Protein backbone atom coordinates (compact mmCIF):
# COMPACT_ATOMS: atom_id res chain seq x y z
CA UNK A 1 0.00 0.00 0.00
CA UNK A 2 2.00 3.02 -1.17
CA UNK A 3 -0.61 5.78 -1.01
CA UNK A 4 -3.79 4.47 0.62
CA UNK A 5 -6.98 5.00 -1.35
CA UNK A 6 -10.09 6.29 0.36
CA UNK A 7 -13.59 6.40 -1.09
CA UNK A 8 -15.85 9.06 0.39
CA UNK A 9 -19.52 8.29 -0.24
CA UNK A 10 -21.75 11.16 0.83
CA UNK A 11 -24.53 13.04 -0.92
CA UNK A 12 -23.27 16.31 0.55
CA UNK A 13 -20.86 18.16 -1.70
CA UNK A 14 -19.55 20.08 1.29
CA UNK A 15 -18.72 16.96 3.32
CA UNK A 16 -16.99 15.39 0.31
CA UNK A 17 -14.93 18.52 -0.26
CA UNK A 18 -13.91 18.80 3.41
CA UNK A 19 -12.90 15.13 3.59
CA UNK A 20 -11.06 15.29 0.29
CA UNK A 21 -8.95 18.31 1.18
CA UNK A 22 -8.19 16.97 4.67
CA UNK A 23 -7.09 13.55 3.43
CA UNK A 24 -5.28 14.67 0.28
CA UNK A 25 -3.15 16.99 2.41
CA UNK A 26 -2.01 13.85 4.28
CA UNK A 27 -1.14 11.96 1.10
CA UNK A 28 -4.25 9.84 0.66
CA UNK A 29 -5.75 9.23 -2.76
CA UNK A 30 -9.41 10.23 -2.50
CA UNK A 31 -12.30 9.33 -4.78
CA UNK A 32 -15.90 10.40 -4.35
CA UNK A 33 -19.32 8.80 -4.74
CA UNK A 34 -22.47 10.92 -4.62
CA UNK A 35 -24.79 8.17 -3.42
CA UNK A 36 -24.92 4.55 -2.26
CA UNK A 37 -25.32 3.03 -5.70
CA UNK A 38 -22.31 4.91 -7.04
CA UNK A 39 -20.32 3.88 -3.95
CA UNK A 40 -20.99 0.17 -4.53
CA UNK A 41 -20.23 0.44 -8.21
CA UNK A 42 -16.93 2.13 -7.44
CA UNK A 43 -15.97 -0.51 -4.88
CA UNK A 44 -16.61 -3.29 -7.38
CA UNK A 45 -14.69 -1.62 -10.18
CA UNK A 46 -11.76 -0.36 -8.15
CA UNK A 47 -11.80 -1.48 -4.50
CA UNK A 48 -10.44 1.28 -2.24
CA UNK A 49 -8.44 0.58 0.92
CA UNK A 50 -11.17 2.08 3.08
CA UNK A 51 -14.64 3.58 2.65
CA UNK A 52 -16.07 6.58 4.47
CA UNK A 53 -19.78 6.00 4.27
CA UNK A 54 -22.61 8.43 4.94
CA UNK A 55 -25.75 6.82 6.37
CA UNK A 56 -28.46 9.01 4.87
CA UNK A 57 -28.17 9.08 1.10
CA UNK A 58 -30.72 8.93 -1.72
CA UNK A 59 -31.22 5.48 -3.24
CA UNK A 60 -29.19 2.92 -1.31
CA UNK A 61 -28.48 4.21 2.20
CA UNK A 62 -25.30 3.54 4.18
CA UNK A 63 -26.66 0.42 5.89
CA UNK A 64 -27.58 -1.13 2.56
CA UNK A 65 -24.18 -0.33 1.06
CA UNK A 66 -22.48 -1.80 4.15
CA UNK A 67 -24.60 -4.97 3.90
CA UNK A 68 -23.73 -5.34 0.20
CA UNK A 69 -20.00 -4.89 0.90
CA UNK A 70 -20.06 -7.44 3.73
CA UNK A 71 -21.94 -9.94 1.53
CA UNK A 72 -19.30 -9.77 -1.22
CA UNK A 73 -16.26 -12.01 -0.58
CA UNK A 74 -14.11 -9.68 -2.70
CA UNK A 75 -15.08 -6.58 -0.71
CA UNK A 76 -15.81 -7.90 2.78
CA UNK A 77 -12.41 -6.87 4.14
CA UNK A 78 -12.58 -3.21 3.17
CA UNK A 79 -12.90 -1.31 6.47
CA UNK A 80 -15.92 0.98 6.52
CA UNK A 81 -16.05 4.14 8.63
CA UNK A 82 -19.59 5.44 9.06
CA UNK A 83 -20.35 9.15 8.89
CA UNK A 84 -23.39 10.00 10.94
CA UNK A 85 -25.10 13.31 11.65
CA UNK A 86 -27.58 11.78 14.07
CA UNK A 87 -27.17 12.48 17.72
CA UNK A 88 -28.32 9.13 19.10
CA UNK A 89 -26.28 6.01 19.52
CA UNK A 90 -28.78 3.70 17.77
CA UNK A 91 -27.46 4.22 14.25
CA UNK A 92 -23.87 3.95 15.44
CA UNK A 93 -24.64 0.63 17.10
CA UNK A 94 -26.54 -0.57 14.02
CA UNK A 95 -23.56 0.34 11.82
CA UNK A 96 -21.03 -1.42 14.04
CA UNK A 97 -23.28 -4.48 14.26
CA UNK A 98 -23.50 -4.48 10.48
CA UNK A 99 -19.73 -4.81 10.29
CA UNK A 100 -18.52 -1.20 10.18
CA UNK A 101 -14.98 -0.72 11.48
CA UNK A 102 -15.62 2.67 13.11
CA UNK A 103 -17.75 5.80 12.95
CA UNK A 104 -17.38 9.57 12.83
CA UNK A 105 -20.00 12.00 14.07
CA UNK A 106 -20.67 15.02 11.89
CA UNK A 107 -19.54 17.69 12.21
CA UNK A 108 -16.07 16.28 12.77
CA UNK A 109 -12.72 17.97 13.25
CA UNK A 110 -9.85 17.23 10.89
CA UNK A 111 -7.62 15.53 13.54
CA UNK A 112 -10.38 13.06 14.42
CA UNK A 113 -11.04 12.29 10.74
CA UNK A 114 -7.34 11.65 10.17
CA UNK A 115 -6.98 9.50 13.28
CA UNK A 116 -9.92 7.27 12.41
CA UNK A 117 -8.89 6.96 8.76
CA UNK A 118 -5.32 6.09 9.79
CA UNK A 119 -6.60 3.38 12.12
CA UNK A 120 -8.82 1.88 9.40
CA UNK A 121 -5.94 1.93 6.92
CA UNK A 122 -3.72 0.20 9.48
CA UNK A 123 -6.27 -2.59 9.86
CA UNK A 124 -6.47 -2.94 6.09
CA UNK A 125 -2.68 -3.23 5.84
CA UNK A 126 -2.59 -5.97 8.47
CA UNK A 127 -5.36 -7.85 6.71
CA UNK A 128 -3.65 -7.58 3.33
CA UNK A 129 -0.39 -8.84 4.82
CA UNK A 130 -2.21 -11.75 6.43
CA UNK A 131 -3.88 -12.68 3.15
CA UNK A 132 -0.57 -12.60 1.31
CA UNK A 133 1.06 -14.72 3.96
CA UNK A 134 -1.79 -17.25 3.86
CA UNK A 135 -1.62 -17.44 0.08
CA UNK A 136 2.14 -18.01 0.29
CA UNK A 137 1.70 -20.73 2.93
CA UNK A 138 -0.95 -22.40 0.83
CA UNK A 139 1.34 -22.31 -2.22
CA UNK A 140 4.24 -23.72 -0.20
CA UNK A 141 2.10 -26.49 1.26
CA UNK A 142 1.30 -27.62 -2.27
CA UNK A 143 4.76 -27.36 -3.78
CA UNK A 144 7.60 -29.86 -3.78
CA UNK A 145 10.59 -27.89 -2.50
CA UNK A 146 13.24 -29.73 -4.54
CA UNK A 147 11.63 -29.64 -7.99
CA UNK A 148 9.20 -26.73 -7.68
CA UNK A 149 6.48 -28.99 -9.07
CA UNK A 150 3.28 -29.73 -7.16
CA UNK A 151 3.55 -32.18 -4.28
CA UNK A 152 1.55 -35.30 -3.48
CA UNK A 153 -1.03 -33.37 -1.46
CA UNK A 154 -1.93 -31.09 -4.33
CA UNK A 155 -1.89 -33.97 -6.82
CA UNK A 156 -4.37 -35.87 -4.64
CA UNK A 157 -6.74 -32.89 -4.69
CA UNK A 158 -6.33 -32.41 -8.43
CA UNK A 159 -6.88 -36.12 -9.06
CA UNK A 160 -10.27 -36.05 -7.31
CA UNK A 161 -11.22 -32.82 -9.04
CA UNK A 162 -10.16 -33.96 -12.52
CA UNK A 163 -11.79 -37.34 -12.11
CA UNK A 164 -15.10 -35.84 -11.02
CA UNK A 165 -14.95 -33.38 -13.89
CA UNK A 166 -14.24 -36.11 -16.44
CA UNK A 167 -17.12 -38.25 -15.16
CA UNK A 168 -19.55 -35.35 -15.09
CA UNK A 169 -18.74 -34.24 -18.62
CA UNK A 170 -18.15 -37.69 -20.03
CA UNK A 171 -14.68 -36.51 -21.04
CA UNK A 172 -11.45 -38.50 -21.33
CA UNK A 173 -8.82 -38.30 -18.60
CA UNK A 174 -5.33 -39.80 -18.74
CA UNK A 175 -2.84 -40.31 -15.93
CA UNK A 176 0.84 -40.79 -16.54
CA UNK A 177 3.04 -42.16 -13.79
CA UNK A 178 6.75 -41.75 -14.50
CA UNK A 179 9.71 -43.23 -12.66
CA UNK A 180 13.35 -42.38 -13.29
CA UNK A 181 15.21 -45.59 -14.20
CA UNK A 182 17.85 -46.96 -11.83
CA UNK A 183 17.66 -43.83 -9.72
CA UNK A 184 19.06 -45.59 -6.68
CA UNK A 185 22.27 -46.17 -8.65
CA UNK A 186 22.69 -42.43 -9.16
CA UNK A 187 22.47 -41.79 -5.44
CA UNK A 188 24.70 -44.75 -4.59
CA UNK A 189 27.34 -43.98 -7.23
CA UNK A 190 27.49 -40.19 -7.30
CA UNK A 191 25.86 -39.20 -4.00
CA UNK A 192 22.57 -37.56 -3.04
CA UNK A 193 23.42 -34.07 -4.37
CA UNK A 194 23.81 -35.67 -7.81
CA UNK A 195 20.50 -37.46 -7.30
CA UNK A 196 18.84 -34.15 -6.46
CA UNK A 197 20.36 -32.64 -9.58
CA UNK A 198 18.86 -35.42 -11.71
CA UNK A 199 15.43 -34.90 -10.13
CA UNK A 200 15.62 -31.17 -10.77
CA UNK A 201 16.76 -31.62 -14.37
CA UNK A 202 14.02 -34.15 -15.02
CA UNK A 203 11.38 -31.82 -13.54
CA UNK A 204 12.59 -29.08 -15.86
CA UNK A 205 12.32 -31.32 -18.95
CA UNK A 206 8.89 -32.38 -17.80
CA UNK A 207 7.80 -28.77 -17.54
CA UNK A 208 9.01 -28.06 -21.05
CA UNK A 209 6.95 -30.88 -22.55
CA UNK A 210 3.68 -30.21 -20.74
CA UNK A 211 0.72 -28.59 -22.40
CA UNK A 212 -1.51 -25.93 -20.84
CA UNK A 213 -3.96 -27.82 -18.63
CA UNK A 214 -1.62 -30.69 -17.75
CA UNK A 215 -0.95 -30.96 -14.02
CA UNK A 216 2.42 -32.38 -13.02
CA UNK A 217 3.87 -33.12 -9.64
CA UNK A 218 6.24 -35.25 -7.64
CA UNK A 219 4.34 -38.31 -6.52
CA UNK A 220 7.13 -39.36 -4.20
CA UNK A 221 10.85 -40.23 -4.40
CA UNK A 222 11.72 -40.44 -8.09
CA UNK A 223 8.09 -40.89 -9.17
CA UNK A 224 6.15 -38.18 -10.96
CA UNK A 225 2.48 -38.00 -11.87
CA UNK A 226 1.00 -36.08 -14.76
CA UNK A 227 -2.74 -35.56 -14.88
CA UNK A 228 -3.96 -34.90 -18.41
CA UNK A 229 -7.57 -33.74 -18.38
CA UNK A 230 -9.66 -33.89 -21.55
CA UNK A 231 -6.93 -35.85 -23.32
CA UNK A 232 -7.54 -38.96 -25.41
CA UNK A 233 -5.16 -41.97 -25.28
CA UNK A 234 -3.34 -41.05 -28.51
CA UNK A 235 -2.69 -37.49 -27.34
CA UNK A 236 -1.54 -38.65 -23.91
CA UNK A 237 0.79 -41.26 -25.39
CA UNK A 238 2.36 -38.60 -27.57
CA UNK A 239 3.07 -36.41 -24.54
CA UNK A 240 4.47 -39.40 -22.64
CA UNK A 241 6.78 -40.33 -25.53
CA UNK A 242 7.98 -36.75 -25.83
CA UNK A 243 8.90 -36.69 -22.16
CA UNK A 244 10.63 -40.06 -22.42
CA UNK A 245 12.71 -39.19 -25.50
CA UNK A 246 13.74 -35.73 -24.34
CA UNK A 247 14.79 -37.19 -20.97
CA UNK A 248 17.04 -39.77 -22.58
CA UNK A 249 18.39 -37.37 -25.21
CA UNK A 250 20.65 -35.29 -22.96
CA UNK A 251 22.60 -36.67 -19.99
CA UNK A 252 22.85 -34.69 -16.78
CA UNK A 253 26.32 -33.59 -15.69
CA UNK A 254 27.04 -33.51 -11.98
CA UNK A 255 28.95 -30.61 -10.40
CA UNK A 256 32.09 -32.75 -10.27
CA UNK A 257 31.80 -33.55 -13.97
CA UNK A 258 30.19 -36.98 -14.00
CA UNK A 259 27.97 -37.49 -17.03
CA UNK A 260 24.85 -39.29 -15.92
CA UNK A 261 22.57 -40.85 -18.50
CA UNK A 262 18.97 -40.52 -17.40
CA UNK A 263 16.04 -42.51 -18.75
CA UNK A 264 12.48 -42.75 -17.57
CA UNK A 265 9.74 -45.39 -17.66
CA UNK A 266 6.06 -44.57 -17.70
CA UNK A 267 2.69 -46.16 -17.09
CA UNK A 268 -0.24 -44.50 -18.81
CA UNK A 269 -3.81 -45.08 -17.68
CA UNK A 270 -6.52 -43.87 -20.04
CA UNK A 271 -9.93 -43.35 -18.58
CA UNK A 272 -11.40 -41.78 -16.44
CA UNK A 273 -12.53 -45.20 -15.17
CA UNK A 274 -14.70 -45.69 -12.11
CA UNK A 275 -12.51 -44.02 -9.52
CA UNK A 276 -9.39 -41.91 -9.34
CA UNK A 277 -7.78 -44.63 -7.23
CA UNK A 278 -8.45 -47.22 -9.93
CA UNK A 279 -6.82 -44.94 -12.49
CA UNK A 280 -3.71 -44.46 -10.33
CA UNK A 281 -3.57 -48.19 -9.71
CA UNK A 282 -3.66 -48.97 -13.43
CA UNK A 283 -0.97 -46.37 -14.14
CA UNK A 284 1.13 -48.03 -11.45
CA UNK A 285 0.59 -51.52 -12.90
CA UNK A 286 1.50 -50.25 -16.37
CA UNK A 287 4.62 -48.60 -15.00
CA UNK A 288 5.62 -51.90 -13.42
CA UNK A 289 5.22 -53.59 -16.80
CA UNK A 290 7.37 -50.93 -18.47
CA UNK A 291 10.08 -51.58 -15.90
CA UNK A 292 9.80 -55.36 -16.30
CA UNK A 293 10.01 -55.06 -20.09
CA UNK A 294 13.40 -53.35 -19.90
CA UNK A 295 12.72 -49.72 -18.85
CA UNK A 296 12.98 -46.53 -20.94
CA UNK A 297 9.52 -47.11 -22.38
CA UNK A 298 5.86 -46.21 -21.92
CA UNK A 299 3.16 -48.83 -21.37
CA UNK A 300 -0.41 -47.68 -21.91
CA UNK A 301 -3.62 -49.31 -20.68
CA UNK A 302 -7.26 -48.39 -20.87
CA UNK A 303 -9.61 -48.32 -17.89
CA UNK A 304 -12.91 -50.07 -18.34
CA UNK A 305 -15.96 -48.60 -16.65
CA UNK A 306 -17.93 -50.97 -14.49
CA UNK A 307 -20.55 -48.39 -13.58
MG1 LIG B 1 -26.28 12.31 3.64
Q: Would you name the residues annotated as active-site residues? A: 222
Contact 98, 68 (CB under 8 A): no
Q: What is the pLDDT of residues 237-278, one digit of tens each?
A: 999 999 999 999 999 999 999 999 999 999 999 999 999 999
How far is ligand 1, taken at its centre, from the CA of residue 125, in Å?
28
Distance 118 CA to ligand 1 centre (A): 23
Report the phi/psi class of residue 262: left, alpha or beta, with left for phi > 0 and alpha for psi in -120 to 50.
beta
Indicate if the pLDDT at residue 307 is higher than 60. Answer: no
Query: In angstroms, what is the span from residue 84 Cα to ligand 1's centroid?
Result: 8
Q: Is residue 80 part of a domain?
A: yes
Same domain flag for 176 and 197: yes
Structural domains counted in the chain: 2
Measured at the alpha carbon of residue 238, what is the angle toward residues 220 and 282, in degrees to the nearest 5?
45
Domain limit, last residue, from 97, 120, 140: 140
Cα 11 to ligand 1 centroid, rounded to whole Å = 5
Q: What is the model's pLDDT at position 91?
A: 82
Distance 20 CA to ligand 1 centre (A): 16
- Predicted local distance difference test score (pLDDT) of residue 209: 95
Residues 170 and 133 in one domain: no
CA atoms of 233 and 13, how far apart (whole Å): 66
In a shared domain, residues 177 and 86: no
Question: 13-21 contacts: CB < 8 A, separation 24 or more?
Answer: 15/54, 15/83, 15/106, 19/52, 19/113
Residues 177-226 have pLDDT tens digits of: 999 999 999 999 999 999 999 999 999 999 999 999 999 999 999 999 99
Boundaries of domain holding 87: 5-140
With beta carbons less than 8 A apart as the criterion, state whether 148 and 196 touch.
no
pLDDT at 1 (0 to 100): 55
- Residue 307 domain flag: no
> Are 123 and 187 in a shared domain?
no
Dist. CA 23 → ligand 1 center (Å): 19
Residue-wise pLDDT tens digits, 83-130: 988 767 888 888 899 999 999 998 899 999 999 999 999 999 999 999
pLDDT, mean over the chain: 94
Q: Give distance in angstroms: CA of 120 to centre of ligand 1.
A: 21
146 located within any domain: no
- Within this chain, do residues 127 and 187 fall inside the same structural domain, yes or no? no
- 245 and 108 fall within a common domain: no
Residues 164 and 191 reside in one and the same domain: yes
Amino acid sequence: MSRPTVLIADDSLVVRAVVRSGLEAEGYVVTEAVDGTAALQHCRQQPPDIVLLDIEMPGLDGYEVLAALKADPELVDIPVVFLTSRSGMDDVVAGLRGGAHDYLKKPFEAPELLARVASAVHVKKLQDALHERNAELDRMSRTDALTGLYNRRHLDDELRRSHEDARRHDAPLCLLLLDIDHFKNVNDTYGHPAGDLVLGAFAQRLREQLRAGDIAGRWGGEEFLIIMPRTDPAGAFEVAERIRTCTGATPVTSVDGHVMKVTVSGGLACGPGDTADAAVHLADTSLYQAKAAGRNQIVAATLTNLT
